Amino acid sequence: MSVTVFPVRLLLVSFFMLLGWPFAFAASLGRSDYAIEPHSWWMRFIDVCLRVIMRAMWFCGGFHWIKVKGERATPTEVPILTAAPHSSYFDAIPVTMIMCSILTKLESRSIPVWGTLISYIRPVYVFRSDQDSRRKTVEEIKRRAQSGGEWPQIMIFPEGTCTNRSGIILFKAGAFIPGLPVQPVVLRYPNKLDTISWTWQGPGAFKILWLTLCQFHNPMEIEYLPIYTPSPEEKENPALFATNVRKIMAKALELPLVDLSFDDREISLSQGPLRIRDCSSLLEFHQRVCRLRRVELRAGRTGEVLEEQARRARKLQGDGLSLEAFAQFLNLPVTDALTQIHSLFDQHGDGQIDVRLYVIALSTVHRPLKSMETLKLAFKMYENEENGYVQREDLAAIFEIMLGVKKVELSGLFKSLGGPDTAKITHDELHHFIEQHPFFVQDYLDFENHPRSQPKSNGHSKDD
C-alpha cells in the first residue's frame, strides 16, 4: 500500500485541497472578521463547490462513505455544536461537510493553502500570546451565539485536546458560558486498526496520515444527538452545564467518564528520578487550583510567582496559617475553592496549614517534568540559613508532597550516606546522590504501597 495506493491517494488529496484554495481565497477577499455579509448567489455557489471538493478529498483519502445519524439543528435553533471525542485532525471531516465555524489558534491562519480554507469557515481565533485570550474568545463565542443565526454554527471540541477515544475527559466551559442550547455531536471511527488517533505521546502527524491513507477503507460515523437546553441552574453554572452534556455524550458513545483534563497530562506522564508515584492527590489539588483561575500562573510567569511565594513562605518558618491568613498570603478572596485547598493541607485538623507544603504542591503540578527544580525550591524554604541543611523530618514532608505518597521513611537514604550527622542534608549532597542513583526512590525511600512491598513475579516487582 505504501508504494502503490499511498502516493496516488496523497496526490489526489493534495490536488483537491489545491483545487479548493482559489474558491476559499476569492470568498475571503475583503471580508471582515467581525461582521457577516448577506449570502449572495455567488457565495452560495462557492459554498456548494467547496463542500463537494472537500468531500471528494476525504473520499480519496479512504473515507468512502460516512454514516450520519440524527438530524442537525439549524443555526437559529442551536448556535453551538459540541463534538467529542476529539482524537485527530480527521475530525475536520464534519466541519467541512457543513462548513461550520471552529475554534483555532491564530497561527493556523498562516498555514499554506489549509490556512485559507480555515479562514473561509469564519473561525474564532485564539490568541495564545495574549494574556486575555480566554476572556476574548468567550466574548466572541457569546457574540456569535447570540446573533440569532446570523453567523454560522460553531463546532467546539470542549475536551480541548486529542485523546485515544477510550474515555471522555473533562470539558472546558467555553461552549457553555453563553447559556444557550447546544447540540451534542459524537464521532466514531469503527475501524479495526486505529490509525486515526493523534495523541500526546503517539505517532506524529505525517505518520498518522501515511498509515490512514494506506488503509483500504476508513469508516466514520457522525451522530447528532437531541438538542440540549440548559436549566436555569446550568445557565448560572457553566461547569454543571458542561458536566451534564458530557454525561449524555459518554452514554451515547458507551465510554466511561475520565476526570482528567488536558492540563493534567504532564502530571500523569511525569518522568525522572523523582517522578510522581501516586497522582490522585496531586490531580485533585490541581483541579481545585484551576478553579481559582490563577492568571499569573498561566501567563508564562510560573517560575517567578513560585520563587516569590517561596521567599515569603520561608519568612514564616512553618508558622501555621488560618484560612483568612492563607487568602491574604495569596492575595485572593475566601471562596469555596480556596477553602477546599486549605483543607487539603490541614494535616492536624486545627485549621492551620504550613504554606510551604502548598508551594511545593503548586510547583509539582505546574512543573511536573522539572522535579529537581521543585526540590531546589523546597530546600530554599526549609534549609538553615547558616549551613544550608534540611532536617530529616522536613525532607520527608517534602518527598511526601512531591511524590504524592504517605509516611516517607528516610532511614535507607541516610544509612547509605553514612555521614557524621545523619539527621540532616544539604541540597547539593542530595542532588549529587540522586544523580548517582537513577532508581533513587525505589532503592532508598520507604513509604506506603512502595514497589518493594508489592508481590514479585519472576524476580521483578510490579513497578518494573
Residue 295 clears pLDDT 80, i.e. is over it: no
pLDDT band at 445 (very low <50, low <70, confident <90, very high): confident
- Show me where the domains of the chain are located: 5-259, 265-407
Q: Report helix, strand or coil for 148.
A: coil
pLDDT band at 299 (very low <50, low <70, confident <90, very high): very low
Q: For residue 207, which of 6, 4, 56, 5 has the smallest C-alpha distance?
A: 6
pLDDT band at 421 (very low <50, low <70, confident <90, very high): low
Residue 356 clears pLDDT 90, i.e. is over it: yes
- Tell me the pLDDT tens digit for each residue of 310-334: 999 999 888 899 999 999 998 888 8
CA dihedral (157, 97, 137, 147) positive or negative: negative
Q: How large is the average pLDDT for residues 209-222?
A: 95
Q: How large is the average pLDDT for residues 419-426?
A: 73
CB 72 within 8 A of CB 155: no
Instruction: Kindly report the three-state secondary structure assignment for every residue of 80-135.
Output: EEEEECCCCHHHHHHHHHHCCEEEEEHHHHHCCCHHHHHHHCCCEEECCCCCCHHH
DSSP string, 16-70: HHHHHHHHHHHHHTT--SS------HHHHHHHHHHHHHHHHHHHHTT---EEEES
Helices (H), 113-231: 114-120, 133-145, 205-214
pLDDT band at 461 (very low <50, low <70, confident <90, very high): very low
Residue 227 clears pLDDT 50, i.e. is over it: yes
- Tell me the pLDDT tens digit for each residue of 403-418: 988 888 888 888 887 7
- Lowest-confidence range among 50-59, 120-129, 325-334? 120-129
Q: Are strands 101-105 and 154-156 parallel, antiparallel or unpaired?
A: parallel
Top-confidence residue, 292 or 350? 350
Residue 420 clears pLDDT 60, i.e. is over it: no
Residue 419 clears pLDDT 80, i.e. is over it: no
Within 8 A by CB and 6+ apart from 68, the residues are 221, 222, 223, 224
* 104, burial (CB in 10 Å: exposed 0-12, middle 13-18, buried 19+): middle
- What distance in Å separates the CA atoms of residue 150 and residue 265, rounded to the nearest whole number? 38
Phi and psi angles of residue 85, each rounded to the nearest 5 degrees, phi first? -80, 145
Instruction: Name the range with the highest mean pLDDT among 13-27, 277-291, 304-318.
Output: 13-27
The cell for 204 is 506524529
pLDDT band at 130 (very low <50, low <70, confident <90, very high): low
- What distance in Å separates the CA atoms of residue 81 and residue 176, rounded to the nearest whole number? 10
The cell for 34 is 467581525
Q: Show the beta-strand stretches assigned E in 329-371.
A: none
- Lowest-confidence range among 42-51, 262-271, 326-335? 262-271
Q: How large is the average pLDDT for residues 428-457?
A: 78
Residue 464 clears pLDDT 50, i.e. is over it: no
Q: What is the pLDDT of residue 57?
A: 97
Q: What is the pLDDT of residue 168?
A: 94
Q: Are strands 389-391 and 66-69 parallel, antiparallel or unpaired?
A: unpaired
Residue 31 clears pLDDT 90, i.e. is over it: no
- Tell me the pLDDT tens digit for each residue of 165-199: 999 999 988 899 999 999 999 999 998 899 999 98
CB 383 within 8 A of CB 390: yes
- Lowest-confidence range among 335-349, 378-392, 443-457? 443-457
Q: What is the pLDDT of residue 181?
A: 94
Assess if CATH 3.40.1130 describes domain 5-259: yes
- Lowest-confidence range among 52-61, 112-121, 261-270, 392-401? 261-270
Most distant pair of Cα atoms in the chain: their distance: 88
Q: What is the pLDDT of residue 92?
A: 94
